[in-house]
């Protein structure tokens, strides 16, 4: 069996077990309402995590995701409230700006040949700084479009609601999975994460792919920012602080190897759901504090990194061992 499926399987089993345990304690958790809220509450995280999955699959990391979300919310708020743009037009502008930002980071990583974490760290400072310079204060957004969107949803049997942003996240996951598993770009991403030297020799356009990957990640972070702005109806430079860590955690818990080359978009979806479950459980419990979330996520992260080590070092002939006597 494909080794890379094993962590995904583990994640799925853990999620099902955890959900079953939670339901046995609070039967109220088993409802379409809760499931719908799962999607809505984690929409921005999920969308950003799809981008992060591509980055990590290619062996990189993007620390700027949270900052780009924050910047986008501010930019959209300013464009809508101060410049009087229609929100959809504002979204378009924000996505283009985010895409250009990601492309620049990707180009720096590809051509300056420096570690991704330091380039995206600079990106994080830049995006947060720029957002604060535009407006240090939170800007509330009042627009008919926002009201309309928040009142649009698909009613599920049992009273659950698939909101626009919840549905958007699911769509992004589906499209992301197609892109990763069924396109040449997707193959190139895995190739880069597997072995960049081989990838280059096999004709993968390494710089172009790198630039595209970070463009994709930042664009999705921009989209997550738009979703966050719809979700909170505000733009604030300090919103979504630390989301990059949640996204990385979701990707890793979802079974993607942090060193790249192995993983699935669908796994990230379960990773996001698992994080949502932890949060929902803590809310349902009432007596547990929210900081348990971080500890549980950290514990899960550790567990999965360890699990991957076991799977990939036990059965994989390491690349070096392959051609050394």
Partner 1 sequence: MAQAQGAQAAAPPLLQARQIGKIFGQHHALDGVDFEARAGEVHALLGENGAGKSTLIKILTGALQPDAGEVLVEGQPVHLRDPQQAQGLGIGTVYQEVNLLTNRSVAENLFLGRQPTRFGLVRKGVIERQARQILAAYGLEIDVRAELGSYSVAIQQIVAIARAVELSGKVLVLDEPTASLDRVEVDKLFDVVRALKARGLAIVFITHFLDQVFALADRVTVLRNGRLVGTKTLAGLSQTEVVRMMLGKDLSFAHAIGGGPDAETGPAVVTFDGIGRAGKVHPFTLTLHEGEVVGVAGLLGSGRTEMARLMFGVDLADSGMVRMGGRVFALRSPAQAVAAGFGFCPEDRKLDGIFADLSVRENIIIALQARLGWFRMLTTEEQVDIAGRFADALDIRAAHHDMAVKLLSGGNQQKVILARWLATDPRVLILDEPTRGIDVGAHAEIVRTINRLREDGLALLVISSELDEVVAYSNRIVVMRERQMVAELRGEQIDPATIVQAIAGQAAPDQTPEETP
Partner 2 sequence: MTRLSGIFLRPQVAALVAVLLMNWLLFPDFFDLTWRDGRLFGSLIDVLNRGAPVAILAIGMTAVIATKGVDLSVGAVMAIAAAVAATLVVGGQPAIVAVTAALAAGLLCGLWNGVLVTYLDMQPIVATLVLMVAGRGLAQLITEGSIVTFSDPVLIYIGTGAFLGLPMPVVIALALLLLTTLLVRRTALGLMIEAVGVNKGAARLVGIPARLLLIGAYAFAGFCAAIAGIIVAGDIRGADANNAGLWLELDAILAVVIGGTSLLGGRFSIPLSVLGAVIIQAMNTGILISGLPPEFNLMVKAGIIILILILQSPLAAEAFARRMPKRKTAPRERTMP
Q: Name the residue nearer to partner 2 (CB basis): 28 or 115.
A: 115
Task: Round the CA-based radius of gyration of the chain to a whole number and report it.
Answer: 20
Quote the least distance from Cβ 272 to partner 2, whole Å: 15
Question: What is the distance between the alpha carbons of residues 87 and 95, in angstroms, rounded to a whole number?
Answer: 12
Question: What is the distance between the alpha carbons of residues 240 and 261, in angstroms, rounded to a whole number?
Answer: 28
The residue ranges that bind partner 2 (CB under 8 A) are 61, 108, 111-115, 117-119, 121-126, 128-133, 136, 237, 245, 248-249, 258-259, 289-299, 301-302, 305-306, 309, 313
261 makes contact, choosing from partner 1, partner 2, none, with CB < 5 to 8 Å by partner type, with partner 1
Quote the least distance from Cβ 176 to partner 1, whole Å: 14
The residue ranges that bind partner 1 (CB under 8 A) are 2-4, 178, 182-184, 186-188, 190-191, 193-195, 197-199, 201-204, 261-262, 316-317, 319, 322-325
Q: Name the residue nearer to partner 2 (CB basis): 14 or 305.
A: 305
Quote the least distance from Cβ 296 to partner 2, whole Å: 8
Question: What is the distance between the alpha carbons of residues 52 and 64, in angstroms, rounded to a whole number?
Answer: 10
Q: Write out the DSSP string of 289-304.
A: -THHHHHHHHHHHHHH
118 makes contact, choosing from partner 2, partner 1, none, with CB < 5 to 8 Å by partner type, with partner 2
193 makes contact, choosing from partner 2, partner 1, none, with CB < 5 to 8 Å by partner type, with partner 1
Distances (CA, A) of 257 to 131, 166, 220, 245, 249: 32, 27, 21, 15, 11
248 makes contact, choosing from partner 1, partner 2, none, with CB < 5 to 8 Å by partner type, with partner 2
Quote the least distance from Cβ 191 to partner 2, whole Å: 20
Quote the least distance from Cβ 139 to partner 1, whole Å: 39
121 makes contact, choosing from partner 1, partner 2, none, with CB < 5 to 8 Å by partner type, with partner 2
Quote the least distance from Cβ 111 to partner 2, whole Å: 7
Alpha helices by DSSP H, the chain = 5-25, 32-41, 43-57, 65-77, 87-112, 116-134, 144-151, 164-182, 184-194, 196-201, 206-232, 243-253, 265-285, 291-314, 319-323
Q: Residue 208 contacts by C-beta under 8 Å, 6 or more apart in sequence?
A: none
**For residues 163 and 36, is the Cβ–Cβ distance under 8 A?**
yes
Question: What is the distance between the alpha carbons of residues 108 and 96, in angstroms, rounded to a whole number?
Answer: 18
């Amino acid at each position: 069996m494909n080794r890379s499926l094993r962590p995904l399987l583990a994640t799925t089993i853990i999620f099902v077990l955890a959900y079953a345990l939670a339901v046995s304690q609070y039967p109220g958790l088993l409802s379409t309402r809760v499931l719908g809220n799962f999607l809505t509450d984690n929409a921005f995280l999920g969308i950003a995590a799809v981008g992060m999955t591509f980055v990590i699959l290619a062996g990189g990391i993007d620390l700027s995701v949270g900052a780009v979300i924050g910047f986008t919310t501010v930019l959209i708020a300013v464009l809508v409230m101060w410049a009087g743009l229609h929100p959809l037009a504002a979204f378009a502008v924000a996505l283009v700006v985010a895409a250009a930002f990601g492309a620049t980071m990707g180009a720096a990583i590809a051509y300056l040949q420096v570690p991704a974490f330091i380039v995206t760290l600079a990106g994080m400072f830049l995006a947060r700084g720029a957002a604060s310079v535009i407006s240090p204060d939170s800007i509330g957004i009042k627009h008919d479009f926002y009201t309309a969107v928040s009142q649009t949803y698909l009613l599920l049997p049992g009273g659950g609601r698939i909101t626009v942003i919840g549905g958007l996240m699911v769509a992004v996951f589906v499209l992301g999975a197609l892109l990763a598993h069924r396109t040449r770009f997707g193959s190139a991403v895995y190739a880069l994460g597997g072995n960049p030297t081989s990838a280059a020799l096999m004709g993968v356009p390494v710089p172009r792919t790198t630039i595209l990957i970070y463009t994709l990640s930042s664009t999705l972070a921009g989209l997550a920012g738009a979703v966050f702005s719809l979700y909170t109806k505000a733009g604030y430079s300090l919103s979504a602080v630390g989301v990059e860590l949640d996204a990385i955690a979701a990707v890793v818990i979802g079974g993607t190897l942090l060193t790249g080359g192995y993983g699935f978009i669908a796994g990230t979806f379960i990773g996001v759901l698992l994080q949502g479950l932890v949060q929902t459980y803590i809310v349902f419990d009432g007596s547990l504090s929210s900081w348990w979330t971080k500890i549980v996520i950290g514990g899960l992260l550790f567990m999965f990194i360890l699990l991957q080590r076991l799977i990939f070092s036990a059965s994989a002939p390491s690349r070096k061992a392959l051609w050394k006597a």
